Amino acid sequence: MTYQETINYLFTSAPLFQNVGGDAYKEGLYNTYQLDNHFGHPHQHYKTIHVAGTNGKGSCSHTLAAILQASGLKVGLFTSPHLVDFRERIRVNGEMVSEQYVIDFVEQHKAFFEPLHPSFFELTTAMAFKYFAEQHVDVAVIEVGLGGRLDCTNVISPEVCVITNISFDHVMFLGDTLAKIAGEKAGIIKTHVPIVVGEVVKETRPVFEAKAQEMSAPIYFAEEEKEVIKHRFTHKGGINYDTKNYGIIYGELGGYCQQKNANTILCAISRLKEQGFRISDEDIREGFTHVCEMTGLMGRWQTLQTSPKVVCDTGHNVGGFRWITRQLKKVHVPLRIVFGMVNDKDISGVLAMMPKHATYYFCQASVKRALPHKDIKQKAATYGLKGKSYPTVAQAYQAALHDAQAQDFIYVGGSSFVVADYLTFCL
């Protein structure tokens, strides 16, 4: 098979959550354990860091990986979803897994895994763990796919666990209260393994404390450590952080949410240093400053051009849009928003926060879960949001670009898949 044939095989034979949603979700870890046994528990051959949470886990995972790379380690990074190429999910020191490796993995092992009917994510996780072992990485940063307790990444025994925050998302699988969702995320907490929690509210803190106590795991709340004293946005688009122990750190990720992520990351770094990782202040600065270049991170308040300014962001739920809309409302030039969502998100909650002064270009991403562009436009109108609708992200973006003057601001987002289609069109 060619690489594209292999990817098509994976997408069709193993259900892909980002395309079909709940039908791809498999509860329980039976397949995970079967795959793990078959491959000889590859994750036991290197250290790991486990990152869960509703929002921010991608930014935190990439930045932690960049800092560890800067410290001289060979670092695996497993994240999801991908935006342009499947191979973005599996990286070593920022380099994507090769196309040939993906082909060989499927061809050599499909006789074993086909009878299991694994999900796409179960299979991808097994591939990543095996690849990292064969690449002899020193440490791998592993991002949870969905939840935590029953996520197939939860077979690892990490050095440190991180839970960024909790808000409403995937409620059909994780629960309809913040406490229930926190309970699922807390499932990654392991016996005696330090757990860093980025943000808590009154419903979630007791859940984390109880689980940590049950597992005899030392728990650290980043908001209490207050490593970031204050922050300032720079003209370059990033953020300068004044920190308690590391001086001034420049972070190239410029989204408003990143101030919370920075505090979480620095708290996690402190725990890693206590676990014996040799990480210098300069390593930390290097990772924050060059995370995109070092790890290939895309889609986090990413500027694609400046005249007109075009920014995309993968934020896709109410928790993420609390930050995004706050940032959009600070835009004091004509604002044009290319916007689409998928059918398992709280679209009403998001639309209620969106700026009413913007001109909208409603669109439909190229996944089955995408909400029809005309339906989004109709629903948005009930919240006072006005604009036209387009059947594809590319058409919506081209219309926005055609209408824009040099000083305008174009935002592309609402869903990771809108950003994925946009980047695929532009790059």
Report CA Rg, the chain: 21
| pLDDT score, position 147 | 79
CATH superfamily of 3-295: Mur-like, catalytic domain (3.40.1190.10)
Q: What residue ranges do the domains of the chain occupy?
A: 3-295, 302-426
Q: Read off the pLDDT of residues 324-352 as tens digits, 9 standing for 90 and up.
A: 999 999 999 999 999 999 988 889 999 99
**Taking the domain 302-426, which CATH number applies?**
3.90.190.20
- With bands split at pLDDT 50, 70 and 90, how would you rate the model's confidence at 71? very high
pLDDT at 277 over 70: yes
Query: If residue 49 lies in a helix (H) or strand (E), which one and from where to where?
Result: strand 47-52
Q: Read off the pLDDT of residues 15-64 as tens digits, 9 standing for 90 and up.
A: 553 444 444 445 678 999 999 999 999 999 999 999 999 889 999 999 99
| pLDDT score, position 96 | 98
pLDDT at 249 over 60: yes
| pLDDT score, position 402 | 98
How does the average pLDDT of the chain come out, rounded? 93
| pLDDT score, position 26 | 53
Q: Read off the pLDDT of residues 148-202 as tens digits, 9 standing for 90 and up.
A: 888 999 999 999 999 999 876 544 556 578 888 899 999 999 999 999 999 998 9
CA distance 244 to 235: 24
- With bands split at pLDDT 50, 70 and 90, how would you rate the model's confidence at 82? very high
- DSSP secondary structure letters along 137-184: -SEEEEE-SSSSTT-GGGG---SEEEE----S-SHHHH-SSHHHHHHH
119 or 385, which is more confident? 385
- With bands split at pLDDT 50, 70 and 90, how would you rate the model's confidence at 316? confident
Q: Read off the pLDDT of residues 407-418 as tens digits, 9 standing for 90 and up.
A: 999 999 999 999
pLDDT at 308 over 60: yes
| pLDDT score, position 17 | 39
SS3 387: strand
| pLDDT score, position 326 | 94
For the four alpha carbons of 322, 329, 337 and 303, in that order, the dihedral sign comes to negative
| pLDDT score, position 281 | 97
Half-sphere exposure of 257 (CA within 13 A, CB side): 25
Burial class for 105, CB neighbours closer than 10 Å (0-12, 13-18, 19+): buried
